[in-house]
Chains A and B, each alone.
Chain A
Amino acid sequence: MEVILIFISAVLVNNFVLSYFLGICPFIGVSDKIESAVSMGFAVTFVLTLAAAITWLINRYILIAFNVTFLEYVSFIIVIASLVQFVEMFIRKTSKTLYDALGIYLPLITTNCAILGLALFGALREYSFIQNIVFGIGAGIGYTLALVIMSGIREELDLADVPEPLKGAAITMIIAGLLALAFMGFA
């Protein structure tokens, strides 16, 4: 039951982009076409799920076990960077189509704060292993959802008459604000 709650909360109520402001940079950068938004969303979901599992294991069996939690940030970021690298190599060797779809987005994910944020939130809230993985999947789906909605709106925006100074990033921010307002309805 609690697992379902964590999932729904991560997808809708505490959406990573719209209420925790995690992963905003690619959210603004990649969200101008629906296709790239979907690819980016899947890449992030994939890495989030793997990272949730691995950082949980590291936190429990290395950091807490040896009482070196002050190394949390250094070890998490190294794990995430190498995980992304590893995933990229693995996908390139195994699936050409998947690599073409996700390829260029994967390196960007290392510096996506959503991944490190997930690891930190997971450690902070002391989730169990299963809960942490569900949290990761939920956060990824929520991220994809926000990205796809945003890109859908931005595709239409090309036809709209936006005041000159607000063109580009400014109007994107304001739209994100309205989206966040809408998502608050789930809370």
Chain B
Amino acid sequence: MAKIDRGDTNAKRRGFSEFAKGFWKENPILVMLLGLCPTLAVTTSAINGLTMGLAVVFVLTGSSLIISVIRNIVPKQVRIPTFIVIIATFVTMVDLFLKAFFLDLSKALGPFIPLIVVNCIILGRAEAFASKNKVWFSLLDALGVSFGFTVTLVVLGGIRELLGMRTFFGMNVLGEGFEPWIVMLLPPGAFITLGFMLGAKNLIDIRMKERKRG
């Protein structure tokens, strides 16, 4: 009995770490540099970032679930095409959903919703995790990675929106006295903001390592 209990807590702990690693230690954008195309392209405002993030949450969770369920049936040689077709199906669902209920957002994100198909995060998680692990852990991994992705997108979109339009989620924050930096909304702003976010993450990691060492 005691043995089973220990197994349970171990499984719980592992489940939690599979979920939590996506936010910092294996953050898909800041550490693994995956899925950069949508990251840079849609984050002109926090709400766009959030929409993109949630779309990825849905696609990644759904496809990880299915891939993990069928992982023992799919022959090794055709696994990548199989995964891509599953992913493309989920992306089509998201796209049709957004077009039906949030037409403005769908227009703002343009072809970047369909481009989730080739987002390396999704295929990467499918190949590296879902095709090798049990359904429950695959689900937690997918949720962790995709919410980590979402948070990063909202932060990036928030910074760009704040400096480029003085607003955050459409609310005026900085007031009339602040001259908006238009460049933040243009492509260069995306690259430079992400560059500094990567730098900030490295800086925090270096500091934390130093503190641990004493």
In the complex, which of the residues B36, B84, B187, B194 contacts A81, with contact meaning CB atoms closer than 8 Å? B84
CA distance A19 to B188 in the complex (A): 8
State whether A113 touches B37 (Cβ < 8 A): yes
A26 to chain B, nearest CB (A): 10
- Flag whether B163 is at the interface (Cβ < 8 A): no
Q: CA–CA, A184 to B89, complex, Å?
A: 36
**CA–CA, A167 to B203, complex, Å?**
10
**Closest residue on chain A to residue B33 by CB atoms:** A169
Number of A residues whose C-beta is below 8 Å from B?
A: 45
In whole angstroms, how far apart are the Cα atoms of A77 and B88 in the complex?
8
Q: Is the CB of B84 within 8 A of A78?
A: yes
CB-CB under 8 A for A173 and B115, given A21-B36, A184-B187:
no
B89 to chain A, nearest CB (A): 7
Of the stretches B12-20, B116-124, B135-143, B172-180, the one at the interface is B116-124
Q: Is B200 part of the contact surface with A, judged by Cβ < 8 Å? A: yes
Q: With a CB–CB cut-off of 8 A, which chain B residues contact A1?
A: none
Pair B81/A78 contact, Cβ less than 8 Å:
yes
Contact of A73 with B by CB under 8 A: yes
- The interface on chain B, measured as residues whose beta carbon lies within 8 A of the other chain's beta carbons, has a size of 43
Q: By the criterion CB–CB under 8 Å, are A117 and B85 in contact?
A: no
Contact across chains for A113 and B96 when beta carbons are under 8 A apart: no
Q: In the bound complex, do residue B89 and residue A25 qualify as a contact, i.e. CB atoms below 8 Å apart?
A: no
Cβ A116 vs Cβ B117 within 8 A? yes
- Given A25-B36, A78-B85, A170-B195, residue A116 in contact with residue B96 (CB < 8 A): no
**At the interface, yes or no: A159 with Cβ under 8 Å from chain B?**
no
Rounded to whole angstroms, the CA-CA distance of A22 and B203 in the bound complex is: 28
A77 to B122, CA, bound (A): 14
Contact in complex: B85, A74 (CB < 8 Å): yes
Among B36, B120, B188, B203, the residue within 8 A (CB) of A181 is B188
Is A186 in the interface zone, CB < 8 Å from B? no
Asked if A53 is at the interface (CB within 8 A of a chain B CB), the reply is: no
User: Which residues does chain B contribute within 8 Å of A72, judged by CB atoms?
Assistant: 114
What are the interface flags for B168-194 relative to A under an 8 Å C-beta threshold, 1 for contact and 0 otherwise? 000000000000000100111111101
User: For the complex, is A174 an interface residue (Cβ under 8 Å from B)?
Assistant: yes
Q: How far is the CA of A170 from the CA of B33 in the complex (A)?
A: 10
A70 to B100, CA, bound (A): 13
A14 to B114 Cα, complex, angstroms: 19
Nearest 3 Cβ contacts at the A-B interface: A177-B191, A173-B195, A177-B192
Interfacial residues, chain B to chain A (CB-CB below 8 A)? 33-34, 36-38, 40-41, 80-81, 84-85, 88-89, 91-92, 95-96, 110-111, 114-115, 117-120, 123, 183, 186-192, 194-196, 198-200, 202-203, 206
Task: Given A20-B41, A74-B88, A184-B186, output 19 extra A-B contacts at Cβ < 8 Å.
Answer: A21-B38, A21-B40, A21-B41, A22-B115, A24-B36, A25-B37, A28-B33, A70-B96, A77-B118, A110-B118, A124-B110, A124-B111, A164-B206, A166-B199, A167-B202, A168-B198, A170-B196, A178-B188, A180-B191
